[in-house]
Chains A and B, each alone.
Chain A
Amino acid sequence: MASRAETSPPHGVRLARKHHLLVRVSHWLNVLLLAGLIVSGISIYWASPIYRHSPDPQTGNTDYFADAGLWLCAHVPLMHGYVSPPDWIYNHFSLGPYMLAAAMRLHWCCAYLFMVNGLMYLAGLWLGGEWRSLLPRASDGHGALIMAKYYLGAPFALFSRRQRVPPQFNSKYNPLQRMAYFSIPVAGWLSVVTGWAIHKPMQLSWLAALLGGFDRARVWHFWLMCLFITFVVPHVILVFADGWDTVRSMITGWSKKTGDGRPIP
């Protein structure tokens, strides 16, 4: 602290530029667009579920999502009175059942905006030079393991009130973050590619063929959605766990820290 007082003029605050304006805008737009794509996508999925079992002898039902709703309403105390248990998942994570036409409109609307937003994000990465911080490095596999171990141990450390020193990496993102922030945009573009293969399987039949055909492209598209959901949950938890500075930086663009959490010298 003493050295900092020497180099800073009185009352000066040092800030590190972290996110370009276009990166910030596209990040928050993406929250809304991805939500729209997921809820409408699950409504589209409802019309013809990819994963099905042979018809249930009692209900004639073949959809695992309907089974999940039935199970929840049968076993979770406050849900016993739910009017249509097989629709529970669709009523809570999509526009609802029997919504194919509306869901497709919403899906196309969000999908076109998602592509524009993706280009805006790339433009922001380029203009701010941030793309360099996202590129994978040879040492990332090992570093990501170290970070994963640290994060997984965090709840236990919190519980036992043990002080832990976070692993230090001399870069903007730690290897696990870098891996995630690199692969999620790639997955975003892959979902665009698989989406086009599903949307135009005849005019873009070469694209559908590349993905193993129309039916298989739907499976890829579905699992990419699952990947986004599995990314979002720890992403939100970790950003808030990391602190206000990290959350704020995605709005204001600057951080009071540099690199992976070290204060600006």
Chain B
Amino acid sequence: MSSDENGAQPKPAETSPPGPESHRVFSERSPEIIEVTPQVVRRLTRRDFLTFGAGAVVALGVAASQLPPSTLQRLGLKFWPRNQWLLNKAQRVDDDVAELLYSPNRLVPTFKKSQITPLRNNYNGATPDPGYIPGWRLTLDGLSSGLAASLDIRTLLTRFQIHDQITQLVCVEGWSAIAWWSGLRFEDLLRAYPPVSQAKWAFIESSVNLDSNGNPDPYYVSLDLLTAKHPQTLLATHYDGQPLTVEHGAPLRLIAPMKFGLKNIKAITRITYVKDEPKDYWAERGYSRYDGI
């Protein structure tokens, strides 16, 4: 607060004599004393209260406009204008930060078998009927060959080297589990079936996903190819040394431990390589699109 601008000209009163303490860097100094007329005190007080008060009103108004409708309703602010600009901006900034922090060369921590913890079946809704498994095939689209490829699980298991990894799966909800996965590297699949040259994204779908009422609810995620090429991004076929069960996405699921669990799509049926960022199930429901952790 500079009172000089207001022509108040406070004259510094005699400061207390510098004691031995004021020579030490870390010692508390005596406060600066100014002497002003009561009129000036009143004016400065009024100015500061009005400024801070106006700031508070604006800040509270902006804050309220960012709240979700149900929260506003509970606060009795049913008709308060909503503007999600600030929150959406924050999400974009946060996604950019996540992308900046990501390095294709940085490995995520791996664990020993003794550190394995139980893994939840967090199927959003109901676990699909395993009837799809025998006839299951993985369709690849957006390939440089211009043709779609259709692979069965036997081909995947025999043509590709299977890697083991014990990594932590972190859910957006806040829980985590350390699990032993085996599968082929996504990178190896990309080598064997190269995508079109402009492709930057993989659009990964599971057509067998169900909603909470058991009705078909296809699940899909977007995955940037930089993440897909990470050596620890697996197309897992085994969990805990056994072929995947339907609970964990038989016969093929994505394990990308550098993303939240919701990107780790189960029971993959189709992968399409595309140039522009594809849609994402949870991004459409207000979550981050990048989900890098």
- Chain A positions near chain B (C-beta within 8 angstroms): 8-9, 11-18, 21, 24-25, 28-29, 32, 36, 44-45, 47-48, 91, 95-96, 99-102, 104-106, 108-109, 112, 129, 132-133, 135, 171-172, 199-205, 209, 214-215, 218, 248, 251-255, 258-259, 264
Residue-wise interface mask of B (171-185) relative to A, using a CB-CB cutoff of 8 A (1 in contact, 0 not): 111111000000000
Asked if B66 CB lies within 8 Å of chain A CBs, one says: yes
Specify which chain B residues have a CB less than 8 angstroms from the CB of A12 in the assembled complex: 35-37
- Chain B positions near chain A (C-beta within 8 angstroms): 1, 10, 13, 26-38, 40-41, 44-45, 48-49, 52, 55-56, 59-60, 63, 66-68, 70-71, 74, 86-91, 93-94, 98, 101-103, 106, 108-109, 168, 170-176, 257-258, 282, 285-288, 292-293
Specify which chain B residues have a CB less than 8 angstroms from the CB of A95 in the assembled complex: 67-68, 70-71
The one of B27, B60, B90, B282 in contact with A108, judged by C-beta atoms closer than 8 angstroms, is B90
Given contacts A108-B90, A200-B293, A201-B170, whether A15 and B36 have CB atoms under 8 Å apart is: yes
B286 touches A101 (CB 8 A): yes
**CB nearest neighbor in A for B98:** A200
Given contacts A11-B38, A15-B34, A200-B98, whether A218 and B293 have CB atoms under 8 Å apart is: no
The one of B171, B257, B287 in contact with A202, judged by C-beta atoms closer than 8 angstroms, is B257
A135 touches B26 (CB 8 A): yes
A14 touches B174 (CB 8 A): no
Specify which chain B residues have a CB less than 8 angstroms from the CB of A199 in the assembled complex: 293
Report the bound CA distance from A50 to B54 in whole Å: 39
B174 touches A99 (CB 8 A): no
Q: A13-B37, A106-B66, A203-B98 are in contact. List 6 more A-B contacts (CB 8 A).
A: A48-B173, A99-B71, A109-B87, A112-B94, A132-B29, A199-B293
B33 touches A14 (CB 8 A): yes
Report the bound CA distance from A25 to B55 in whole Å: 9
B74 touches A96 (CB 8 A): yes
A11 touches B37 (CB 8 A): yes
Can you show 26 pairs from A to B with CB atoms below 8 A apart?
A15-B34, A15-B36, A15-B41, A25-B55, A28-B55, A28-B56, A47-B173, A48-B174, A48-B175, A95-B71, A96-B71, A101-B285, A105-B87, A108-B90, A108-B91, A109-B90, A112-B94, A135-B28, A171-B28, A203-B293, A214-B168, A248-B45, A252-B1, A253-B1, A254-B34, A264-B33
**CB nearest neighbor in A for B100:** A203
A99 touches B68 (CB 8 A): yes
Specify which chain B residues have a CB less than 8 angstroms from the CB of A205 in the assembled complex: 108-109
Specify which chain A residues have a CB less than 8 angstroms from the CB of B292 in the assembled complex: 200, 203
**CB nearest neighbor in A for B31:** A16
Specify which chain B residues have a CB less than 8 angstroms from the CB of A200 in the assembled complex: 98, 101, 292-293
B60 touches A16 (CB 8 A): no
B34 touches A14 (CB 8 A): yes
**CB nearest neighbor in B for A49:** B174
Question: Chain B nearest CB: distance from A258 CB in Å?
Answer: 5
B174 touches A102 (CB 8 A): no
Report the bound CA distance from A96 to B173 in whole Å: 15
B27 touches A132 (CB 8 A): yes
Specify which chain A residues have a CB less than 8 angstroms from the CB of B172 in the assembled complex: 47, 100, 104
Question: Chain A nearest CB: distance from B170 CB in Å?
Answer: 6
A13 touches B93 (CB 8 A): no
Given contacts A28-B52, A32-B59, A48-B173, whether A102 and B33 have CB atoms under 8 Å apart is: no
Specify which chain B residues have a CB less than 8 angstroms from the CB of A172 in the assembled complex: 28, 31
Report the bound CA distance from A28 to B55 in whole Å: 10
Given contacts A13-B36, A214-B170, whether A252 and B68 have CB atoms under 8 Å apart is: no
The one of A16, A106, A218 in contact with B32, judged by C-beta atoms closer than 8 angstroms, is A16
The one of A14, A91, A100, A106 in contact with B74, judged by C-beta atoms closer than 8 angstroms, is A91
Question: Chain A nearest CB: distance from B57 CB in Å?
Answer: 12
Report the bound CA distance from A17 to B71 in whole Å: 41
A204 touches B101 (CB 8 A): yes
